Structure 1
Amino acid sequence: MTRSIPTALILLMLALPAAAQSSHQGHGSHGAPAATGAPKGQTGAGAMSMESMQTMMKTMMPSPGDAASTKDFKSADMKMMHDMAVPYTGNPDIDFRTKMIPHHQGAIDMAKVALAHAKDETTKSLAAQIIKDQEREIAEMREWLSKNAPK
């Protein structure tokens, strides 16, 4: 069965690697380019190759044999990708927050999947802390937007 990938999602997938390059407090340097060059599957300026993008998209699509937790993680991933597809304003302060809010919500949703399915108590503890931290940061970003974004 062939699945159609919406154009907006493809455009978002092209933009995400560049956004993922920046470090975020508490997230370390995941996604940072290796010292020897761009990460595998990326071309200049953070763009992904079409092959890498297609491979990533395939891994996000539900499969009949997926474990329940995998289905839930994939659902959270797809929702986050969809919710991050908001237009840019040209104002980096606003754009940062409007992209990070759904990114953080995606982290919360994935942490909830971990709480529901994980067996390891340290995983559950980490997930609970992520929920607490990300909810606080979302509230802070929304507050800033309410005071600073054009109405």
Structure 2
Amino acid sequence: MPRLAIATALSLALTAPALNGPAQAQHAHHPAPAAAQEPASSRAFREAAERMHREMAIAYTGDADRDFAAGMIPHHQGAIEMAQIQLRHGRDPAMRRLAEEIIQAQEAEIARLRAFLARTAPR
């Protein structure tokens, strides 16, 4: 009987972190912020990154040129969104200028990528 008790206790000890979820596995000094406590800029950055990664999950065709263009468009759009978030929430003048430059550059690159896709037929 003692072996069964030890085995049960060991089993519970090993599975308890998984049952309690990822928040319990977090370091006590750095718990994940609750959504209501998350700063607006952090929430906006996280949402933009999640959206960018979802949209970058394209169906690859084997045509490296078209796949590159199709994947880079949402990547660049994500950079634009992050720069817009910086402009809404950031205060540093140099970072604000950089965000404005990024928006301008990424918009131009998206236009080039879309033009390439429009003028080339899928293989």
TM-score of the superposed pair, with normalisation by structure 1:
0.58
Aligned: 1:114 with 2:86: yes
* Structure 1 alignment gaps of length 5 or more: 4-58
SS of 2:91's equivalent in the other structure is coil
For 1:146 and 1:2, locate their aligned partners in 2 and report how far apart those are by CA, in whole Å: 47
TM-score of the superposed pair, with normalisation by structure 2:
0.70
Superposition RMSD in Å: 2.3
Matched length: 95
Partner of 1:149: 121
Q: Which amino acid aligns with 1:146?
A: A
More helix by share: 2
Alignment counterpart, residue 135 of structure 1, candidates 76, 82, 107: 107
SS of 1:140's equivalent in the other structure is helix
What percentage of aligned pairs have identical amino acids?
43
Q: For residues 39-80 of structure 1, give each alpha carbon's deviation from its aligned partner in whole angstroms, at most 9, with x where no partner exists.
A: xxxxxxxxxxxxxxxxxxxx8xx8332111000000100110
For 2:97 and 2:90, locate their aligned partners in 1 and report how far apart those are by CA, in whole Å: 10
Q: How far did 1:2 drift?
A: 6.2
SS of 1:87's equivalent in the other structure is coil
SS of 2:122's equivalent in the other structure is coil
Q: Which amino acid aligns with 2:90?
A: A
Distance change >3 Å, CA 67–CA 148, structure 1 → 2: same
Q: For residues 4-31 of structure 1, give each alpha carbon's deviation from its aligned partner in whole angstroms, at most 9, with x where no partner exists.
A: xxxxxxxxxxxxxxxxxxxxxxxxxxxx
Structure with bigger gyration radius:
2
Partner of 2:47: 75
